[in-house]
């Protein structure tokens, strides 16, 4: 018997239709053809998706558990997503809610190479929340971004990431930007710069090499933009780098945020994962955010915990509330909320950092 994974869907349909709908999803996500036309014993026994269980969650809403052979995934993170949700993502009555993976598949992808403890250690933090800010707006030249970075670092922030809109544009090419910012931050060895990688895998490899040459050891990428397999390849190839995953384009496919950001991106090696915190510019509920953070941190096949990074329109006055909500195992990302302070940016940053450092963690 081959090892198996379970994809868990939430399906909206009239009650009477659910058994047939569940079977159709199991077929769609595996053999994609009439099962009656299949003779091959191995395919029938192992490859055809199997509905393991169906249960009602609410009126016309069901949980459907589909078992799939792990061998269908090959050794490919993209194919993992394809098996979980490739065609079914095109059905608007289905959401991919969760997944259970066999140990061999988890071992194949192996999760974060660093994770929470290492991300604390790198910036000299004890068991407290981490702080982060963002370099923006896009359109600024490298020198202006480097000036901003220096101010954040002077305020004592732990991680400074590129805005995910900063790519390899003519007005701020990646290599020139990284060089300028890394140079500016040389005087602040406890602050880590996190440049945003973009482009095809070749471009991202060149960007990582340029970052490493400038002394950078952390980078951000958007796995749903660059492709899960390419993200995972970068993680494998750069064991010294810590990777922050950005959720850009993650919304289009209707994968539950706690699964995608808290679990799948962790599996593929994200040491930290940015998500839009409730009450900011995005509509995630407190429950979704809590589930996402818990998934990222939970004991799961022995993988390192991934740092949840609460972002998306946060402000310094929300620090106590967010730390009450998440506890110490969180990174708080405040970008625009600090940039608004303008000439008082280093002071505001220092106040943000102090609020996080002095918080009475429970």
- Sites for a second copy among residues 130-169 (CB under 8 A): 134, 136-140, 144, 163-165, 167-169
For residues 248 and 322, give the distance between their C-alpha atoms in angstroms, rounded to a whole number: 23
Q: Which two tokens stand for residue 62?
A: 């069901």
Binding mask 228-257 for a second copy (x = CB under 8 A): xxx-xx-------------xxxxxxxxx--
Q: Which stretch binds a second copy (CB under 8 A): 14-22, 207-215, 282-290, 324-332?
A: 282-290
User: What is the nearest approach in angstroms of a second copy to the Cβ of residue 325?
Assistant: 20
Q: For residue 213, what are the contacts with CB-CB under 8 A and spacing of at least 6? A: none
- For a second copy, the binding residues in 30-49 under the rule CB under 8 A are 30-34, 36-38, 40, 42-43, 46-48
The residue (of 29 and 305) whose beta carbon lies closer to a second copy is 29
For residues 273 and 309, give the distance between their C-alpha atoms in angstroms, rounded to a whole number: 6
Q: Which stretch binds a second copy (CB under 8 A): 108-116, 151-159, 277-285, 320-328?
A: 277-285
Q: For residue 87, what are the contacts with CB-CB under 8 A and spacing of at least 6? A: 28, 29, 32
User: What is the nearest approach in angstroms of a second copy to the Cβ of residue 69?
Assistant: 8
- For a second copy, the binding residues in 69-128 under the rule CB under 8 A are 69, 71-76, 78-79, 81-83, 85-93, 96
The residue (of 116 and 184) whose beta carbon lies closer to a second copy is 184
The residue (of 220 and 323) whose beta carbon lies closer to a second copy is 220
Q: Which residues of 84-117 are buried (b: 16+ CB within 10 A; e: fewer)?
A: bbeebbebeebbbbbbebbeebbebbbbbbbbbe
By CB under 8 A, the count of residues binding a second copy is: 88
- For a second copy, the binding residues in 191-210 under the rule CB under 8 A are 198-203
The residue (of 142 and 305) whose beta carbon lies closer to a second copy is 142
User: What is the nearest approach in angstroms of a second copy to the Cβ of residue 328?
Assistant: 26
161 forms bridges with which residues in the sheet?
134, 194
Contact 274, 246 (CB under 8 A): yes
User: What is the nearest approach in angstroms of a second copy to the Cβ of residue 199?
Assistant: 5
The residue (of 125 and 131) whose beta carbon lies closer to a second copy is 131
Contact 2, 69 (CB under 8 A): yes
User: What is the nearest approach in angstroms of a second copy to the Cβ of residue 114?
Assistant: 21
The residue (of 119 and 226) whose beta carbon lies closer to a second copy is 226
- For a second copy, the binding residues in 287-326 under the rule CB under 8 A are none
Interface pick for a second copy out of 121, 127, 190, 281 (rule CB under 8 A):
281
Interface pick for a second copy out of 178, 180, 224, 333 (rule CB under 8 A):
224
Please identify which residue in the block is written with the tokens 């780098």.
241
């Amino acid at each position: 018997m081959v090892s198996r994974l379970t994809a868990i869907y939430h399906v909206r349909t009239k009650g009477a239709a659910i058994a047939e709908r569940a079977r159709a999803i199991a077929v769609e996500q595996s053999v994609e053809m009439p099962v009656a036309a299949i003779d091959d014993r191995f395919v029938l026994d192992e490859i055809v998706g199997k509905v393991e269980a169906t249960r009602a969650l609410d009126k016309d809403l069901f949980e459907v558990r589909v078992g799939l052979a792990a061998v269908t995934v090959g050794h490919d993170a993209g194919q993992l997503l394809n098996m979980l949700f490739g065609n079914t993502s095109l059905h608007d009555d289905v959401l991919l809610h969760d997944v259970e993976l066999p140990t061999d598949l988890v071992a194949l992808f192996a999760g974060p190479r660093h994770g929470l403890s290492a991300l604390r250690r790198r910036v000299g933090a004890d068991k407290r929340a981490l702080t982060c800010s963002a370099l923006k707006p896009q359109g600024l030249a490298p020198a202006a971004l480097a000036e901003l970075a220096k101010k954040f670092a002077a305020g004592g922030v732990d991680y400074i990431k590129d805005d995910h809109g900063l790519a390899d544009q003519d007005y701020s090419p990646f290599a020139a930007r990284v060089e300028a910012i890394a140079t500016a931050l040389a005087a602040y060895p406890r602050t880590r710069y996190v440049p945003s990688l973009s482009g095809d895998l070749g471009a991202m490899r060149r960007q990582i090499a340029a970052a490493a040459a400038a002394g950078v050891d952390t980078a951000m990428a958007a796995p749903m933009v660059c492709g899960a397999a390419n993200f995972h390849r970068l993680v494998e190839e750069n064991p010294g780098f810590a990777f922050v995953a950005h959720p850009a384009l993650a919304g289009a496919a209707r994968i539950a945020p706690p699964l995608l950001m808290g679990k799948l991106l962790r599996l593929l090696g994200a040491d930290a994962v940015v998500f839009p915190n409730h009450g900011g510019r995005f509509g995630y509920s407190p429950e979704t955010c809590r589930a996402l953070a818990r998934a990222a941190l939970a004991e799961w096949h022995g993988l390192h915990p991934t740092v949840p990074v609460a972002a998306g329109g946060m402000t310094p006055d929300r620090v106590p509330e967010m730390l009450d909500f998440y506890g110490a195992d969180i990174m708080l990302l405040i970008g625009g909320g600090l940039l608004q302070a303008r000439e008082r940016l280093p002071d505001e940053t220092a106040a943000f950092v102090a609020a996080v450092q002095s918080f009475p963690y429970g």
